[in-house]
Each structure stands twice: as C-alpha cells, then as structure tokens.
Structure 1
Amino acid sequence: MMSTAPHAASRRPQLLAAGAATVTVVLWASAFVSIRSAGEAYAPGALALGRLLSGVLALGVICLLRREGLPPRAAWRGIAISGLLWFGFYMVVLNWGEQQVDAGTAALVVNVGPILIALLGARLLGDALPPRLLAGMAVSFAGAVTVGLSMSGEGGSSLFGVVLCLLAAVAYAGGVVAQKPALGHASALQVTTFGCLVGAVLCLPFTGQLVRDAADAPLSATLNMVYLGVFPTALAFTTWAYALARTTAGRMGATTYAVPALVVLMSWLALGEVPRLLTLAGGALCLAGVAVSRSRKGAAAPEPEGAAEPHARDGGRV
C-alpha cells in the first residue's frame, strides 16, 4: 500500500501534461468553428492581428497578476523564432491559404506539419523516432486527409493556395521546434506571452485593414475573433507549451491529429452539420493514430533526458 503514494506522485507530472495537451487540442478544434464565422467579415491578416492582440492582452494581464518578469536571455532566440514563424507568419498564411483551397487539399498539406515536427525534432533536438510514433502519425495523417476529403465542397484548389498551406505547415513545424529549447529556460507562460507579442508586432502592417473590417463586421464575428485570441491562442498555446516542456516535439505534434476528429464533433453539435460515414471513419482513424503514437512499449519507457522535467524557472506552472 505504501508504494502507491510514490507511484502516484511520479505519475502526476505526466497526468498534468496530458491534461494540458487535451485542453490544447479541444480549444484548437473549437477555433475552426470560430474562424468560419470571423473569416467571413475579416481578411486573413486582419483576423490574425485581431486574434493576436486579444491574446497578448489576456496573457499580459495574467503575467501581471502572477508577477512574471522578462524571459531569460537564453530563451529569447527560441521565443523570437517561434513568434515570427508560428504566431505571426503561420496564422496569416493559413487563414489566406484556406480561402484558396478546398478542405481536402488543406487537410493533405497542412497536416504534413506534425510529420515535419517529428523529423526536425529528431534532426535538431535529438528526439527519438520510435516505430509506434511513426506508425501512429501515418494512421492519423490518413484519417485527417479522409476527414478533409469527406467534408470538401465543390470548390477547387489553386496552386497558390497549396503553396500557402505548405508554407503554413513548414512555419508551424519550425515554430514548435524553436519553442522547445526556450522552454528549458523560461516558463510556459513567458514563452507564450512574448511569442504572441512578437507575432502581433509582425502583423502590425494589417492594422488599417483590421480597423476597416471591424467597423463593418457584425458583433458575432468580432466576438469570435476575441474568443480566438483569449482561448485558442492565450490559453491553448500556454497549455501546449506546458505539455511540450514535458515531452518531445514529435509526440506533441502527433497529439494535434486529434483536432480533425474534434472538429467533426463540434461542427455536428454547434452547427448542425451531420457528418458522413466517411467523415466519422476518418475521425476514428485520427484518434486511433494518436493513441498509437502516444503509447509506449512496456509500462515504463522513460522520456528522453530533459523532456520530463522542465527548467526550474517553470516551476511546474502554466
């Protein structure tokens, strides 16, 4: 009986990281529903800027309440790169690209991102590529493409749109891999706050467009934009960073393959879009692949050195 307490204590960080990852994928899935509404009234750059400004405001308030200071100098390189690539460039080109291509093409191209994360993590961070991770990602990728194809309309795809989606996938992967080392020096909240700030600064050229769109946009679209900033950005990116500090980039990337399955469910519940049988099958494949990629052979395969315990500055805090 006495051995159960230390075992439960050793499992607590893993459970907290899993819970943080779950919050992230649920909120990122909900973002697709909000983007659909806000994107009808806001141009891609304006929507990205409005979302990031809302996120910076929310994160700034939390930092003040928690008395978070500036990140250490060693963290700034990763924060700056992830802010430019992921918070800034990725959000603009993804919004733009998804207006140019159908859902099937977007699913095929954008969901290359987690695969790139695993490959870049192995090359630049020394992450392992266990067979279960690769097999799970292959299954989830097939499921994501199936969901996208089954939900596609009659619209076509332009070469320009495909290039934009590919650039988004590359920026997403580069941003995640750059963020990982920064989390060894700064807290998840610091990395997220200042990465979001860097992205917002990058998007400042869209200020005029944001003002014009906001003047004409319905209240529902503006509220959806603010929601995107506060929850799928401020909260979800922070819980993502918290979980990323405690596992490998490849495993976290694979976890995001649960998003397409959750989008199907949320579209069904919130928008009344009854999914096709093929859509449900694709969602099931996504979840099955995530389960495989997150599993480990045996009961106690250790995390790579430095992955399970973040830097002391993080203090286990979100």
Structure 2
Amino acid sequence: MNTPTSAPARPDSRTILAVVVTLFAWASAFVAIRGVGEDLSPGALALGRLLVGSAVLGLLMVGRGWVPPTRREWALLGACGVGWFGVYNVALNAAEQHLDAGTTAMLVNIGPILIAVFAGLLLGEGFPRWLVAGIAVAFAGVVLIGVATRSAETELVGVVLCVVAAVTYAIGVVAQKPVLRRLPALQVTFTACVVGMLCCLPWAGALIDELGRAPAASVAGMVYLGVVPTALAFSTWAYALTRMDAGKLGVTTYVVPPLVIVLGWLLLDEVPPALAVVGGAVCLAGVALSRRRTRPRRPVPVTQEAGTPL
C-alpha cells in the first residue's frame, strides 16, 4: 500500500457532482439517525440499513459482470466492509444515542485528518502544503462549531464512540483506495456493504423484534438510510475516490457538519448559533484551500560562462 502514485488530474464536473451528492446524503443521515434511533437500537438500525443498501446495490450489479478480486484485494475489501460499513455504522448509531446530530457530525470529522495522514503514509500521496493548510483551517472551523454547539449534556461515551467511528471511517477509505485501481467502484461498494451487513447479523433478532413495534416513519427512515446515504452515497464516493486523492477527497467532508446544522435547523427547528455559522464558513474556506494546487517552479536559467564547454 506504500507505492507512490501520481496525483490525479483536476476533477471534472461529474466527479464534483458525485462529491456534492455524497456530502448532502451523508449530512442527511445524521439527522435521520437521530430520529430513527428513538425506535431502533444501534445494531438493529445498522443491520437494517445495510440490508437495504446491499439489496439496492445488488440490483444495480445485475448484468454488470464480476471482476474476481485477488487475495490482497479481498483483505482490503474485508477491512473496508468490517471497519467502515460495520463498526462505523454501529458506533455512529450508538453515539447519537448520547449526542445530538450536529455534535456527532463534528466529532466524527476528525476522520479526514486521519485519512490524510494514513493516505500520506500508506498510499504515497504525500502531504502537499495546501492540503495540510486546508486541513488546519477546516479543523479550526469544526472547533468553532463545537464551541458554538457545546452542551452540558454531552456524554463521554458518546465522544468515545465518535472517535471509534472516525478511526474506522479513515481505515475504510484508505483500504478502499487501492482496490478501486482495478475493481469497478460499484462492485467495491456492494462487496464492502455485504461484508458489513454480515458483521451485523448478530442483531437480526433485535431488528425483527423492533421493526414489529416501530412506527411507519421510523421504518421509512431506515429504508431511506439504506437507499440514499448508503447505496447511493457510498457509490458516488467510490466513483469520486477513483478520480481524486484520498486525502483531498476526505477533507471535503468537513462540509458535512455545517450541512447537518442547516438540515437540523430546517427539519428539526434547531436554530444554529451565530458562531456555528462562522465555523461553517471557515470549514468551506478550508476545503477550498485544500483544493489549491502548488504551481511548479520554473527552472532558473543558468548563465553560460565564457570558455565553458557546451
């Protein structure tokens, strides 16, 4: 995983659209989980979401063929599926049992820093100065949002669960990147989703029991989480990851916390503090900064001295 790779070209409009779809879908997930979590426990919700996601992705896979993964690719797919789709979802759902959606989104967003570090160390992406600067500025924005929305009700267990989610999210992205060099993005997403779903099967009994008591709105919310933030958003993410460095793509997710706050404002009638709005603007500035490209230095002409052979 440490073979250096050349930096991808500037993303085209399709890649940018894929990133935008991913960010909005994942932002909506934090709000949906908060509501659905009142009726479905963390493990059951993760299993239900991944069952729906696997079914949708499986239908999309029909007729597309299958590229057999190598043994190394299976190991990376397993790491991505267990970490990002399995452990991440359970930890995220459990975190929102203790924290509000906005705080959870901000804490999970230490993930892009870990992605950039892991990608620089393991994928040979290095640490371009604009990427490092963008991470620092965007993280400062997340801190501002955290200060603006901090609450005395914040529980340590929720913070720990967010850290677990962030670490497994970063591991999943870095494991996914090398596999996407040869395998189709849809196949990678489908396989990782199925692996994550299998990891959550111990909660099958809880899911059946809780679905029997859950209101229709919560069941619909679970289906939404499986179709949009999982099947759609993970596919658009994988598409973008084949065309961008993992570190640069990861830092774009700093846009998610301000989006969650806006969605919470619109859907949950939660008015964000003024400082949170400032923090969101700083996040966007950091993302924009990370997208800058270092201009290559022009070679300095060497003056030919008299008598020097050519």
Common fold, TM-score beyond 0.5? yes
Aligned-pair CA distance for 1:107: 5.3
**Residues 102 and 257 of structure 2 are in contact (CA less than 8 Å); yes or no, is this contact kept in structure 1?**
no
Aligned-pair CA distance for 1:62: 0.7
Aligned-pair CA distance for 1:134: 1.1
Equivalence for 1:118: 116
**Residues 38 and 221 of structure 1 are in contact (CA less than 8 Å); yes or no, is this contact kept in structure 2?**
yes
Any idea what the Cα deviations from partners look like across 1:171-210, whole Å, max 9, x if unmatched? 1111110000010121110000010000000000011111
Residue type of the alignment partner of 1:292: L
Equivalence for 1:229: 226
Equivalence for 2:21: 23
**Residues 46 and 206 of structure 1 are in contact (CA less than 8 Å); yes or no, is this contact kept in structure 2?**
yes
Aligned-pair CA distance for 1:139: 1.4
- SS where residue 257 of structure 1 aligns? helix
CA shift in 2, pair 1:104/1:24, >3 Å: closer
Residue type of the alignment partner of 1:196: C
Aligned-pair CA distance for 1:165: 1.9
Equivalence for 2:270: 273
Aligned-pair CA distance for 1:150: 2.3
- TM-score, normalised by the number of residues in structure 2: 0.87
Cα distance between partner residues in 2 of 1:102 and 1:224: 17
- TM-score, normalised by the number of residues in structure 1: 0.85
Residue type of the alignment partner of 2:37: G
Equivalence for 2:51: 53
Cα distance between partner residues in 2 of 1:186 and 1:197: 16
Aligned with residue 183 of structure 2, among 175, 183, 186: 186
Residue type of the alignment partner of 1:260: P
Residue type of the alignment partner of 2:24: V
CA shift in 2, pair 1:264/1:71, >3 Å: farther
Any idea what the Cα deviations from partners look like across 1:138-177, whole Å, max 9, x if unmatched? 111121232234234431322x333322221111111110
**Residues 188 and 241 of structure 1 are in contact (CA less than 8 Å); yes or no, is this contact kept in structure 2?**
yes
Aligned-pair CA distance for 1:101: 4.5
Equivalence for 2:69: 72
CA shift in 2, pair 1:125/1:155, >3 Å: same
Aligned-pair CA distance for 1:77: 2.2
Aligned-pair CA distance for 1:284: 0.8
Residue type of the alignment partner of 1:36: R
Bigger drift between 206-215 and 270-279 goes to: 270-279
Residue type of the alignment partner of 2:58: G
Equivalence for 1:36: 34
Cα distance between partner residues in 1 of 2:262 and 2:103: 21
CA shift in 2, pair 1:211/1:68, >3 Å: same
Aligned-pair CA distance for 1:267: 1.9
Equivalence for 2:193: 196
Residue type of the alignment partner of 2:171: G
**Residues 34 and 96 of structure 2 are in contact (CA less than 8 Å); yes or no, is this contact kept in structure 1?**
no
Cα distance between partner residues in 1 of 2:34 and 2:107: 19
Aligned-pair CA distance for 1:133: 0.8
Equivalence for 1:7: none
Aligned with residue 140 of structure 2, among 134, 142, 167: 142
Aligned-pair CA distance for 1:35: 0.9
Aligned with residue 97 of structure 1, among 95, 98, 108: 95
**Residues 82 and 175 of structure 1 are in contact (CA less than 8 Å); yes or no, is this contact kept in structure 2?**
yes
Cα distance between partner residues in 1 of 2:290 and 2:64: 37
Aligned with residue 219 of structure 1, among 207, 216, 221: 216
Gaps of 5+ in 1: 1-9, 300-318
Equivalence for 1:127: 125
Equivalence for 1:285: 282
Find the structure with the greater CA-based Rg. Answer: 2
Gaps of 5+ in 2: 1-8, 297-310
Equivalence for 2:258: 261
Residue type of the alignment partner of 2:41: A
Aligned-pair CA distance for 1:251: 0.5
**Residues 58 and 190 of structure 2 are in contact (CA less than 8 Å); yes or no, is this contact kept in structure 1?**
yes
Cα distance between partner residues in 2 of 1:24 and 1:252: 11
CA shift in 2, pair 1:24/1:107, >3 Å: closer
Cα distance between partner residues in 2 of 1:273 and 1:76: 44
- SS where residue 256 of structure 1 aligns? helix
CA shift in 2, pair 1:68/1:34, >3 Å: farther
CA shift in 2, pair 1:75/1:90, >3 Å: same
Bigger drift between 244-253 and 90-99 goes to: 90-99
Aligned-pair CA distance for 1:271: 2.6
Equivalence for 1:205: 202
**Residues 136 and 293 of structure 1 are in contact (CA less than 8 Å); yes or no, is this contact kept in structure 2?**
yes
Identity %: 52
RMSD across aligned positions (CA): 2.1
**Residues 33 and 96 of structure 2 are in contact (CA less than 8 Å); yes or no, is this contact kept in structure 1?**
no
